[in-house]
Amino acid sequence: MGYENIRFPEGSKFLVTGSAGFIGSNLVEAILNLGYQVRGLDNFSTGKRENVEQFISNSNYEFIEGDICEFSRCMEACEGIDYVLHQAAWGSVPRSIEMPLLYEEINIKGTLNMMEAARQSGVKKFVYASSSSVYGDEPNLPKKEGKEGNLLSPYALTKRVDEEYGRLYTKLYNLETYGLRYFNVFGRRQDPDGVYAAVIPKFIKQLLNGESPMINGDGQQSRDFTYIENVIEANLKACNAKSEAAGHAYNIAYGGREFLIDIYNQLLNALGKDIQPLFGPTRKGDIKHSNADISKAQEMLGYEPEWSFEQGIEAAIEWYKNNLGSLSHS
């Protein structure tokens, strides 16, 4: 895998915020497997306890139940930490349109709390989750850093503000920050339930249960779906990046482009199902097409994603087949 040979100084200690979530728990697992110490922080507002419990017996792991909106908690979490991987946030474009105040509080104030705590604690690198949604209505493909359009949702705005704070914290305070603009991440442990669930796990679960999934719009929208392993690689490589790379945001994707209707048909084939989808209205705030230029991350972070969409979807389907039973009751 793209990160198994990455090395950090002996005794390095990582903080993963949002560690009970999909991306956070995968980061915790990868870092523990590399043999380093990890502290997790989560308040379970969207994360799951079972994602934390699997690591409790590992002597290199400790967990703090707490909220990034409480600065004292952020200070406690950053104590003695070398690298912060800040994943805690509320996702979902449609939900942010319904709850803008909450998104301001968690995604902007919470991130600022974490940056400030990291600065005061002398953290070496602060890597944080941004989003492809910052490109807004910029029509050109592939999406390239520095060519952003008008924002289309409060969620996108919160991520743009986080990037601006990241830039300032590097420039004003010498905290090395690295923003990772994730493009449609999918893979094991991604929640298939709830009205705001991501499309791939939701489709897989519904098809396995013999239900007809709902496709928003005509299914002709395209996305740069990115398997979780590539995201782990990007986070760890950012922790090892040169100081000149700090203060910037980077596209983190595979660099491909999949149409939703094609993915649906691919899932049908893989699962041996014959189910017609339902088509619903296009979602407010959604971008029609998304595809990333990843050359900046390749050049500055040494990011070389190894997992194609095909490899990732195969692994994801396998995981959901084996774990859907345990997910349903949680």
pTM of the complete model? 0.95
Asked if 171 contacts 161 with a C-beta cutoff of 8 angstroms, the reply is no
Q: What's the confidence (pLDDT) of residue 240?
A: 97
Q: Phi-psi region for residue 253, left (φ > 0), alpha (ψ -120 to 50) or beta?
A: beta
Domain that holds residue 65: 13-186+228-255+293-306
With respect to residue 64, please indicate whether it lies within any of the assigned structural domains.
yes
Assigned token pair, 114: 């974490």
With respect to residue 204, please indicate whether it lies within any of the assigned structural domains.
no
Contacting residues for 53 by C-beta, under 8 A, at least 6 apart? none
Q: Measured between alpha carbons, how far is 190 from 204 in angstroms, rounded to an integer?
A: 11
DSSP three-state, residue 63: strand
Q: What is the dihedral of CA 212, 213, 216, 220, to 10 degrees?
A: -90
pLDDT digits (tens, 9 = 90+) for 8-35: 999 999 999 999 999 999 999 999 999 9
With respect to residue 2, please indicate whether it lies within any of the assigned structural domains.
no
With respect to residue 220, please indicate whether it lies within any of the assigned structural domains.
no
Would you tell me the crossing angle of helices 110-120 and 154-173 to the nearest 10 degrees? 20
Of the candidates 103, 155, 165, 303, the residue annotated as catalytic is 155
Assigned token pair, 277: 């989808």
Contacting residues for 98 by C-beta, under 8 A, at least 6 apart? none
Short-list 34, 13, 251, 280, CA closest to 148: 251
With respect to residue 92, please indicate whether it lies within any of the assigned structural domains.
yes
Identify the CATH number of the domain in which residue 18 sits: 3.40.50.720
Say whether 155 is catalytic.
yes
pLDDT digits (tens, 9 = 90+) for 143-172: 999 999 999 999 999 999 999 999 999 999
With respect to residue 147, please indicate whether it lies within any of the assigned structural domains.
yes
With respect to residue 212, please indicate whether it lies within any of the assigned structural domains.
no
Q: What's the confidence (pLDDT) of residue 1?
A: 55
Q: How many domains does the chain have?
A: 1
Mean pLDDT of the chain: 94
- Where do runs of H (alpha helix) occur along 193-289? 199-208, 228-239, 260-271
Q: What's the confidence (pLDDT) of residue 330?
A: 40
Q: What's the confidence (pLDDT) of residue 327?
A: 56
pLDDT band at 195 (very low <50, low <70, confident <90, very high): confident
Q: What's the confidence (pLDDT) of residue 196?
A: 74
